[in-house]
Structure 1
């Protein structure tokens, strides 16, 4: 594969080249990994930055419908939109449906939109392992907005905050009360809570839910990178498009404040440091997949299962084995 040629085509905004590039960075093969690193280093000097928006919510809250409506809204404003949707992978077969694109029929036909579904591959935190690198490629391809739709697993889905500039949490009407709103985890990282499906007979319920969460947000500890009044809770309808202009206005207001007060670059720098440490951690864990390490793990695991060795003692012996192997 000619990486320099692929990089040029990605930078030129060729969608087919971008799709191929994302496939390359998602590959687990060692030779592909080396090519992926070269590709990312070649495209990085362009220095292009998109607004990265992470979006989460429980299954059925209408994430795909909202993304299509919001994406079309942004395209009408002359912006180019990329959508990276992460689908859950089966714990049994490892397969994934990757059906998000079929739910965004209108958006998928737009020339200024790019939709890429990816399997989570059992990665925790609601995103795929290489989603961050796919975001960087979309930025290099000249997209103005990158929407990152997470798996939608619930309160522990916080990894997306480490790769986005704004984090939106979608909730359904009657999706919780004030106590639910002050729970730690995903609520603490949300920049904007959007109560979706605020239309028809659910509109009144959505108003009550929005008020509950607005009250709950005032009880959370103030974050240094938020202006007064943030995080906020607002109502939207992905069906009628009510509330979309107001939600976008709120996002622009928050982004402008963070840029003006220096928080934008600080957060991006902190995120880069986080992903260095995350890649290092994953690399160290890969040392457990060598043939010698697997043989030792199987032997110690058999002793633990037979009651001959405690789990803690076996873990200590395995760590000592790895240290000895690295020293040699």
Structure 2
């Protein structure tokens, strides 16, 4: 038996992936996500076949995005929040994104260690994935992974992002409810917090509001509420809320879920929930177009050769940046047009 035939024999069928996910198998869900995340060309078509077969089983879950400043206790909060939801009868999937090193490309992927109790719960599924340098603190296949979890019967999908930044708008465009977990200590905290992220979220939750921090958390809550009055809300139909909690002592964690439910019910009652999801699908297509065009440019042999030559000309001072850009794009477009003419398109 050749090496190729052995590889083909080991490969799972599309139906195995589909049925495994539908049956609620965490092992098959993990295998299917690995298939979706694969960069191998031979997996691309099958991954899309699996997604197409499962698409009708998606869309029923509530999608929640969580971001936060360093040290805000995101992992502790998500574990306690997830356990609470599991105890309420929900199935919870956590898509935890780890930052990839810009030098080695590697990532920590320690989320199951950080959420050990939740990872063992039979109604929970945790999937750590490297961000691989993607803007917005999400993996490039997070959307597809989210759909697979929904097809697997998970009621609440939690996306934990790498951190706070202007590019977090990508998370907003894939979840129903997005909230910021922050810390006590209002003064410097407000100065250091980016205005952009505050305008993207439906809730700001001040964690670690326990012990000596309770009063500081109360003050921070008031100052945040005042600041929000002068900022544009993410949804015109919903005023961003501020609350305090202590994930460590499981205080007000349930209240966060109550706020999420209130938001979802409100948005559905005014017809904005499905409209928002439709808008997100359109944005997803635009994002994929951008990714595909970027990949096509850098992978094209003419672009590779032109880029190397143009960079030399640029560093030598023979062309300006604007001229270099115009020349590179012009050559790329010319080759695309030539290809279409040869193919009779």
| TM-score interval, smaller chain | over 0.9
Q: Distance in 1 between matches of 2:160 and 2:149?
A: 14
Q: How does 1:73-84 map to 2 (within 5 A)?
A: 73-84=84-95
Shift of 1:31: 2.1
Q: Does the CA contact (< 8 Å) of 1:53 and 1:147 recur in 2?
A: yes
Q: Among residues 286, 310, 315, which one is paired with 2:320 in the alignment?
A: 310
CA contact (8 A) 1:168 1:194 kept: yes
Per the alignment, residue 137 of structure 1 pairs with 148
Task: Work out which of the residue numbers 286, 294, 313 in structure 2 matches 1:285.
Answer: 294
Instruction: Give the drift of 1:223.
Output: 5.0
Question: Which of 254, 271, 284 is matched with 2:263 structurally?
Answer: 254
1:201 positional shift: 1.3
Instruction: Give the Cα–Cα distance (whole angstroms) in 1 for the partners of residues 140 and 130 of structure 2.
Output: 9
Q: Return the offset for 1:136.
A: 0.6
Q: Of 49, 53, 63, which aligns to 1:38?
A: 49
Distance in structure 2 (CA, Å) of the matches to 1:307 and 1:169: 46
2:62 equivalent to 1:51: yes
Q: 1:232 to 1:187 in 2, by over 3 A?
A: same
Deviations 1:230-267 (A, max 9, x none): 21000010111111122211111111000111111001
Find the partner of 2:218 among 204, 207, 227. Answer: 207
1:15 aligns to what? 26
Q: What is the CA–CA distance in structure 1 between the aligned matches of 2:164 and 2:233, rounded to whole Å?
A: 26
Q: 1:267 to 1:79 in 2, by over 3 A?
A: same
Structure 1 pair 154–285 and aligned structure 2 pair: CA distance change class (3 A): closer
Q: State whether structure 2 residue 178 is matched by structure 1 residue 167.
A: yes
Secondary structure, counterpart of 1:316 in structure 2: helix
Q: Are the aligned partners of 2:61 and 2:150 in contact in 1 as well (CA < 8 Å)?
A: yes
User: Retained in 1: the 8 A contact 2:199–2:233?
Assistant: no
Counterpart CA distance in 2 for 1:67 and 1:294 is 44
1:266 equivalent among 270, 275, 299: 275
- Cα 1:180–1:232 shift into 2, 3 Å: farther
TM-score normalised by L of structure 2: 0.91
Per-residue Cα deviation, 1:51-103 (whole angstroms, up to 9, x for no partner): 00000001211000000000011111000000000010000000001111101
The structure with more radius of gyration: 2
Tell me which of 13, 16, 21 is aligned to 1:2.
Answer: 13
Partner of 2:3: none
Contact 1:181 1:212 in 2 (8 A): no
**Shift in CA distance, 291/120, structure 1 to aligned 2, threshold 3 Å:** same
Residues 176/162 of structure 1: CA separation in 2 closer, same or farther (3 Å cut): farther
1:296 paired with 2:312, answer: no
1:237 aligns with one of 226, 231, 246: 246
| Structure 2 contact 202–234 (Cα < 8 Å) conserved | no
Instruction: Determine the C-alpha separation between the residues in 2 that align with 1:144 and 1:54.
Output: 14
Shift in Å, 1:181: 8.9
Distance 1:297 1:162 in 2: 33
DSSP-derived class of the 2:319 partner: coil
SS at match of 2:199: helix
**CA deviation map 1:204-230 (0-9, x unaligned):** 111111111111112222555534xx2
Q: 2:112 aligns with which of 87, 91, 101?
A: 101
| Cα deviation digits, residues 94-130 of structure 1 (max 9, x gap) | 0001111101111011000000000000101111111
How far has the Cα of 1:152 moved from its partner? 1.0
CA contact (8 A) 1:182 1:220 kept: no
1:147-167 deviation per Cα after TM superposition (whole angstroms, max 9, x unaligned): 000001434422110110000
Shift of 1:45: 1.5
